[in-house]
Amino acid sequence: MSTSLARRFKLQVSADNTSWLSVAGISDLSPNETPTNQSADDYDTNGFASFEKTLTGWKVVAKANRKNTSGVFDPGQELVRTTRFQFGDANRVYVRWYDRNGAPEAYSGRALVDWQQSKTGIADLEEVTMTFTGDGPVTAITNPYSAAAVPVIATATPSGVAAAGQVEVTGNGFTGTVATTGVKFGGVNATSWIVVSDSLLVAVMPAGSAGSAPIVVTNAAGASASFGYTRG
């Protein structure tokens, strides 16, 4: 059941309840309610037990695979990890989960976080169990799902970066950038890059001559329009 939910639902976290990061590598997802039922028996129940729900809590347990190689950490997982060994607000994040197919089931709330790591038997890959224990109400929200769209590039800074330098690219639609060929400068694959969020990625300039090197970002929906850039 929970494995199917991991495929069906998207899990996202936020520090401010505004900017959301998807948690990558989810292999197991289990949202659940823990109600407290109070006996409400009286003579009118004809001898049958009767109850009222007087208190309720919620919890989301997610398991995910985490690469532990330097420079490839998932931003969503990292936001959760930084709550480890913390207290008060530093141990809380906003969390939401919703049907990635667009069905109306979607919820959001603030939660305390527990982060546990374990081995997988595969080099450079571990499993983490993230437990989000509700702190206050969980709220039904409008499903934020939207069909995948091609990336849009808004800015690329700084200008004039030479080979091996870093370029910050902003815009939207960067989630799911195609591996290896998803970021190009002048038609040449970036040496490497990391998608920080759907609206920000950081790419390393590949070798090449100074001059025009338009940027193109490609995700599963297609390629962005070419964005003019001059490299050093």
Q: Do residues 221 and 126 share a domain? A: no
Mean pLDDT value across residues 20-25: 86
Count Cβ atoms below 10 Å from residue 107 Cβ, excluding itself. 18
More confident residue, 66 or 214: 214
More confident residue, 40 or 80: 80
The answer to whether residue 1 scores a pLDDT higher than 60 is no
Check residue 2 and give its pLDDT: 60
The residue range of the domain holding 100 is 2-140
Round to whole Å and give the CA distance between 62 and 10: 11
Residue 88's SS3 state is: helix
Q: Which residues pair with 200 in a beta bridge?
A: 170, 197
Residue 201, domain member (yes or no): yes
Residue 146, domain member (yes or no): no
Residue 22, domain member (yes or no): yes
Q: Do residues 129 and 226 share a domain? A: no
The answer to whether residue 137 scores a pLDDT higher than 50 is yes
Residue 121, domain member (yes or no): yes
Q: What CATH number does the domain containing 214 carry?
A: 2.60.40.10
The answer to whether residue 130 scores a pLDDT higher than 80 is yes
Check residue 3 and give its pLDDT: 63
Looking at 92, 117, 140, the residue that finishes a domain is: 140
Q: Do residues 81 and 184 share a domain? A: no
Residue 18, domain member (yes or no): yes
Mean pLDDT value across residues 167-173: 90
Q: Do residues 67 and 164 share a domain? A: no
Instruction: Compute the mean pLDDT over every residue in the chain, rounded to the nearest whole number.
Output: 90
Q: Do residues 127 and 164 share a domain? A: no
Looking at 140, 160, 185, the residue that finishes a domain is: 140
The answer to whether residue 94 scores a pLDDT higher than 90 is yes
CA angle 52, 55, 56 (to 5 degrees): 110
Q: Considering the chain, what percentage of its residues have pLDDT values greater than 70?
A: 96
Check residue 179 and give its pLDDT: 87
Q: Do residues 106 and 81 share a domain? A: yes
Render pLDDT for 153-164 as a digit per residue (tens, 0 to 9): 999 999 999 999
Number of domains in the chain: 2
Peptide bond into 35 cis (omega under 30): no
Mean pLDDT value across residues 195-206: 88
Residue 184, domain member (yes or no): yes
Q: Do residues 120 and 193 share a domain? A: no
Residue 68's SS3 state is: coil
The answer to whether residue 121 scores a pLDDT higher than 90 is no
Confidence of residue 41 (pLDDT cuts 50, 70, 90): confident
CB 114 within 8 A of CB 131: yes
Count Cβ atoms below 10 Å from residue 151 Cβ, excluding itself. 28
Residue 147, domain member (yes or no): no
Q: Do residues 101 and 170 share a domain? A: no
Q: Do residues 102 and 27 share a domain? A: yes
Q: What CATH number does the domain containing 54 carry?
A: 2.40.30
